[in-house]
Amino acid sequence: MQQSFININVHLDANKVPEQITWSASDTSADSFKKAKAMMLSFWDGAEKNALRIDLWTKDMMVDEMADFFYQTLMTMAESYHRATKNDEMTNDMKKFAKDFYRKFSEQQMKQNKL
């Protein structure tokens, strides 16, 4: 049986706040660890019927970057859901929510910048 590995390293400060996140995967062409400012990792526990998650972000992750990260994650989740279910209506609803989320965030940022 073939195996693939994903390695994630989280470097913490003295208060256990992530300062740096790096990762590598065995099935990529990258030779070294890549840096990331945030990560979301989810597992489905079929026996317990619940999702197990790890959400981390570094202290230098900016609010606008977090909004971009969530928007892109929501859009890719919609695509994954579509590949798994072929449910166009639900996929479109998820994408609409993601677009509305990002639009509202952008409007809030514009208001804050005018103050």
Q: What is the 3-state secondary structure (H, E, C) of 30-71?
A: CCCCEEECEEEEEEEECCCCEEEEEEEECCCCCHHHHHHHHH
Same domain? For 51 and 68 the reply is no
Contact of 23 with 40, CB cutoff 8 Å = no
Q: Determine phi and psi for 80, rounding to 5 degrees.
A: -65, -45
Same domain? For 21 and 49 the reply is yes
Q: Tell me the pTM.
A: 0.88
Same domain? For 49 and 69 the reply is no
Number of domains forming the structure of the chain: 2
Q: Residue 47: which domain range?
A: 1-59
How much is the pLDDT for 28?
A: 79
Token pair in block for residue 114: 């005018």
Task: State the average pLDDT over residues 21-41.
Answer: 91
Residue 102, SS3? helix
Confidence of residue 29 (pLDDT cuts 50, 70, 90): confident
Among 59, 83, 99, give the residue marking a domain's end: 59
Tell me the per-residue pLDDT of 58-98, one tens digit each, with 9 for 90 and over. Answer: 999 999 999 999 999 999 999 999 999 999 999 999 999 99
How much is the pLDDT for 31?
A: 74
Q: What is the CA angle 56-60-62, rounded to 5?
A: 90
Describe the crossing of helices 63-85 and 88-114 by its angle, rounded to 10 degrees: 170
